Chain A
Amino acid sequence: MKAFEYAAPATEKEVLQLLSPEPSRTEILAGGTDLVGLLKKLVVTPDRVVNIMEVESLKSIQVLPGGGVSVGTAVTLDVIAEHSCLDVYPAVRQAIHGINSMQLQCQGTLGGELLQRPRCWYFRQGRGLLSTEVETGANRLHAILGNSGPAKFVSCSRIAPALMALGAEVRVIGPGPNDEKRLPLADLFQTPQNNEERENTLLPNQLVTHIILPPVAGRTCATYEVRHGEGPEFPLAAAAAALRMDHRGVVETARVVMGQVAPIPWLSSEAEQVLLGRVVDERVAEQAGEAAVSRATPLSENTYKVQLAKVAVKRAILLAAGLDCGDFRSHARQIEELV
């Protein structure tokens, strides 16, 4: 770890004062579950680390007038998972539970989870975010969608697909002391095209302060992750679905977002089109899954992820529609009911 200056501001304005406009000179510390590893590996070498955990305004969860919820980015994941305000957004809770690590849940924050750096092992070994070694290298966990440019890594946020499916927005402050804007969460992510860009659209001296979830407005939602095991490792593929269905079960609105498959959380309009105007059943969900991966361009070692992404989409849709998704857990539930 390179020696750095440490700052612990108490207000949002102080945070902005401490962040450098130059890329990589400063890094934001929240829970630290990602940043500390990157610092130790010298993957990032900031001159200053700005700890935002003393900023009280970033730790609030508030129900908004007219519905919806605002969650500060320094709120830890365990608090979010247990908070009653989020009862109507089970997709978010399922994503947090899927992390399967009490340590990460209690220490990790919402902002840190959304903006954690990619898990790409070439990047983590200091070989660059856009390493050309990936294309013919060990790419079994890399992108199958949105990978035609130099970026082959996957966006690894567990919660972003759920939040995007629910139409979340983010409040961003900076770079000026009074600058503030709200933008769709999807606009926070980008696929970098060169080594000067990161995987998010923030300027070095901007800060995401809150995530704003719109009212659930009759929608149902679910997250499904295909995980190799029951540990805290990242899933092989994931999807979140948010549906609004009429009294007959006909889908009126649908949004499906995939995780772990592209450099950004991947919104699938193809899956949405399959679902609109239809009653969800296994066949329809399967068709939506197939549509979601219809444009997949797997790399040399990750064709299997196409199947996993398809299944994740199918099962997320089935769960969002209140149906059984047929995985190990539902099988175990069936046995329990029989007993």
Chain B
Amino acid sequence: MTEYNWPKRDASTVIGKELDRVDGLVKATGAAKYTYDINLKNQLYAVALGCPHGHCKIKSLDISAASSVPGVVHVHVFDHAQPDREIEWEGELLVVVAAESEGAAREGLSKVKLEVEKLDVFTSAEDLQAAEKAGRTSKGGGKVETVNEPGDDDDEEEFVEKEIERLLKESKYVVEGYYGIDAITHCCLEPHGSTVEWKDGTLEAHLSTQNVSGTDEQFARDLKVTADNVTVHCDYIGGGFGSKFAPDYWGIAAAQISRETGRPVKFMLSRDQELKIAGNRPSGYIKVRLGADEKGVVQVWDSVSWGSAGAQGGAVSHSVLPYVLVPKNYRRVATTIKCNTAPSRAWRAPNHPQACAMSQTALDDLAGKMGADSYDVFLANLVNATNEKADVYREQMQIAAKLMDWKAKWHAHGKGGARGSIVDGLGMALHTWGGGANESSCLLKVYPDGGVTSFCGTQDLGSGTRTVCSQVLAETFGLGINDVRVNIGSSRYPNSGASGGSTTIGAVCESHRRAAQDALVKIFDLAAAELKVAADTLEAVGGKIRDRNNPAKNLTWQKACSLLGLKPLETTASYVRGTPSPLSNSGVAGVQMAHVEVDRETGVIRMKKFVAVQDQGLVINPKTCKSQIYGAVIMGIAAALFEERITDPATGVFVNAELADYRLARLGDIGEIVVELYEPESERIRGVIGNGEPPAISPKAAISNAVANALGIRVPVIPLTPKRVLDALAKA
């Protein structure tokens, strides 16, 4: 039985090194083929008609004129687009036209005659009263915890009400606030879609997906074939963020059209469709009352929250409110609102960014009310940390504060003084996440000539999966990363879990390290016989298998592999999710700080500096790890300052569903970003933990808090647009 482990820090030669991505060059030169780049011989181009209204009933749909447009080969009508069916969000695809060219397909689409009966539309998720009046609300759950418990004869609700009021009354400081964060879209640079082809009854699907190993079965189920008849390929993907786990009904339609026409079909969503239907994050709004003691430690929390996850209901879960720092007494009640917007999808740490922005802003307002340093108030409230990470947060806060030069820059809320109309401010927030390894299997081949190649049905979301797999294999065999070949991105390879929940790096490190260590045991046995030493004294270092006690006794890697005989050595190793392992772990913390400037005359906010301190156990590649955090912070800045899904209230139309109108952060908007990987030995020995999501959680709250510190008032709802800043200043 192989004893799986990681080499110690000082013994590592590849792991923990800032290596360039193995696929960096092909990505930078355009040689890498994303799904959007896949074009097959004789393929048809498919485009789709989306529903033009937020809520309507289909009266009639006439495709005859579309079918007769020159070049149009096939017109596909979705089952949900039949007469009398109700459509509940704008953009829902109704008809697909496949043609010899994209132009012909679009012209065909323009000939589709659709008649609808418009129904009532509701999109104002922030307006709880209006939602109640429109009958759009449902109970979203809640929870109450109080230190004192009701007696046997007490009415529980009445007791809680009195207890909360008593605790608030006895609090030294009470904050009452309103906070919110609007829905945003995933905005994948590469839209959802696929290019598919049937060959001899089997489907080859090039799919932009974060779930290579899982989507073959999904295709098979909907196409009524067995999964062995489907192969999914995805070598590179241009963004998923939680929205690309399935072929989606448009992927199934592509396969159906391909089967019916006998031709390959390319069907990628248009940009506006990508924004409208292919993924969004639920909105969240909250009214909070909190009470704190003289040290600023929150003793009681009382909140009512609401929001919308779209037409199918749901909202931010109350279970993460207040976020991380939870007092012993709390009452939280949630309401969900059904809006005529597309259903939400998982977005980078589902629920956490909203919960952080909806609650750690209130904590910052407590600091404002106390006239205290926000740092000190967060520090004091670490006693309420529910994830047993208080000590880690404390150390991370110290590091972040030093990198930000917090103490020198700090001023009380609204007391910083202005230079003309410009004021500046500091804010912070902290977060938590799991990031445990997903299931993963790896088939490894070591050839008698020394070649090493692995096969794993995982995918690289852009975070460097190929690179870290290469590093793990290279480290294990004492080779360089260019001496090994990593194959991923095909469902023909051994199963590996979907890339969701920050589970990929743990998954692939588990499977690749295990397979490599299993292989190395066998190679050591052969080498030991050749060198006439005990196998357990051998090590693989610098391209050699050598005696640890007498390095002069060694074989080159190639020589050692030649002992395998004529056939390559094959090992397959699997990791079952949730199995305790020395190689991976779960549970991380993270602290972020923002320094902003605000122009009080225009309401425009500029990022000055952002500091992110993040733990993720053992870091395989600090370079790709930091890149992941940079990306998360930039995404967070975009959501904090720019991103808005703007809908027309009368029609439910998502009016800014184009990149020209849907504002994102640009390079000039992000200021200086400082990333610090928190990896003391106490964290390193825990093994690998995913960090794809955690650093995307705190930016919104940290930036909102910095703006509140600058202005001395809270701009309640994120994104903090000039309009909202000016509106808040006008009300103050």
Is A304 an interface residue when CB atoms closer than 8 A count as contact? Answer: yes
Is B661 an interface residue when CB atoms closer than 8 A count as contact? Answer: yes
Q: A124-B658, A226-B722 are in contact. Are A331 and B602 (CB under 8 A)?
A: no
Residues of A227-251 whose CB lies within 8 A of B = 227-233, 236
List of A residues within 8 angstroms of B727 by Cβ: 304
Q: Per DSSP, are chain B's interface residues mostly helix, strand or loop, or mixed?
A: loop
A157 to chain B, nearest CB (A): 16
B669 adjacent to A307 (CB under 8 Å): no
Residues of B712-728 whose CB lies within 8 A of A = 721-723, 726-727
B597 adjacent to A328 (CB under 8 Å): yes
Is A193 an interface residue when CB atoms closer than 8 A count as contact? Answer: no
- The chain B residue with its CB closest to the CB of A310 is B601
Q: Per DSSP, are chain A's interface residues mostly helix, strand or loop, or mixed?
A: loop
Is B107 an interface residue when CB atoms closer than 8 A count as contact? Answer: yes
Is A137 an interface residue when CB atoms closer than 8 A count as contact? Answer: yes
B120 to chain A, nearest CB (A): 15
A304 adjacent to B723 (CB under 8 Å): yes
A136 adjacent to B650 (CB under 8 Å): yes
A308 adjacent to B668 (CB under 8 Å): no
B678 to chain A, nearest CB (A): 31
Distance in angstroms between the alpha carbons of A212 and B250 in the assembled complex: 53
B253 to chain A, nearest CB (A): 22
Distance in angstroms between the alpha carbons of A42 and B105 in the assembled complex: 13
Is B559 an interface residue when CB atoms closer than 8 A count as contact? Answer: no
Is A2 an interface residue when CB atoms closer than 8 A count as contact? Answer: yes
List of B residues within 8 angstroms of A311 by Cβ: 601-602
List of A residues within 8 angstroms of B665 by Cβ: 229, 231
List of B residues within 8 angstroms of A230 by Cβ: 666-669
Distance in angstroms between the alpha carbons of A226 and B601 in the assembled complex: 10
Out of B648, B656, B722, name the residue touching A236 (CB < 8 Å).
B722
Is B394 an interface residue when CB atoms closer than 8 A count as contact? Answer: no
List of A residues within 8 angstroms of B110 by Cβ: 2, 42
B606 adjacent to A3 (CB under 8 Å): no
Is B419 an interface residue when CB atoms closer than 8 A count as contact? Answer: yes
Is B106 an interface residue when CB atoms closer than 8 A count as contact? Answer: yes
Residues of B638-683 whose CB lies within 8 A of A = 641-642, 646-651, 653, 655-656, 658, 660-661, 663-669
Is A187 an interface residue when CB atoms closer than 8 A count as contact? Answer: no
Distance in angstroms between the alpha carbons of A308 and B656 in the assembled complex: 21
A326 adjacent to B420 (CB under 8 Å): yes
B722 adjacent to A308 (CB under 8 Å): yes
List of B residues within 8 angstroms of A3 by Cβ: 103, 107
List of B residues within 8 angstroms of A327 by Cβ: 420-422, 599, 602
Is A125 an interface residue when CB atoms closer than 8 A count as contact? Answer: yes
List of B residues within 8 angstroms of A227 by Cβ: 604
B648 adjacent to A133 (CB under 8 Å): yes
Q: A1-B106, A326-B422 are in contact. Are A137 and B602 (CB under 8 A)?
A: no
List of B residues within 8 angstroms of A229 by Cβ: 641-642, 663, 665-666, 668-669
A233 adjacent to B669 (CB under 8 Å): no
Distance in angstroms between the alpha carbons of A233 and B421 in the assembled complex: 23
List of A residues within 8 angstroms of B649 by Cβ: 136-138
B642 adjacent to A228 (CB under 8 Å): yes
Is B313 an interface residue when CB atoms closer than 8 A count as contact? Answer: no
Is A330 an interface residue when CB atoms closer than 8 A count as contact? Answer: yes
B606 adjacent to A328 (CB under 8 Å): yes
List of A residues within 8 angstroms of B721 by Cβ: 228
- The chain B residue with its CB closest to the CB of A306 is B726
> Which 10 pairs across A and B sit closest by C-beta, in order of nearness?
A230-B668, A326-B420, A231-B666, A121-B655, A304-B723, A229-B669, A304-B726, A137-B648, A311-B601, A331-B422
Interface residues of B (CB under 8 A from A): 102-103, 106-107, 110, 419-422, 597, 599, 601-604, 606, 641-642, 646-651, 653, 655-656, 658, 660-661, 663-669, 721-723, 726-727
Interface residues of A (CB under 8 A from B): 1-3, 37, 40, 42, 100, 119, 121-122, 124-125, 127, 133, 136-138, 140, 226-233, 236, 301-302, 304, 307-308, 311, 324, 326-328, 330-331, 334
Q: Offer 27 A-B interface pairs, CB within 8 angstroms, sorted by A.
A: A2-B103, A40-B106, A121-B646, A122-B655, A124-B661, A133-B648, A137-B650, A138-B649, A227-B604, A228-B604, A228-B641, A229-B641, A229-B642, A231-B668, A233-B660, A233-B661, A304-B722, A304-B726, A304-B727, A307-B601, A307-B602, A326-B422, A327-B420, A327-B422, A327-B602, A328-B606, A331-B597
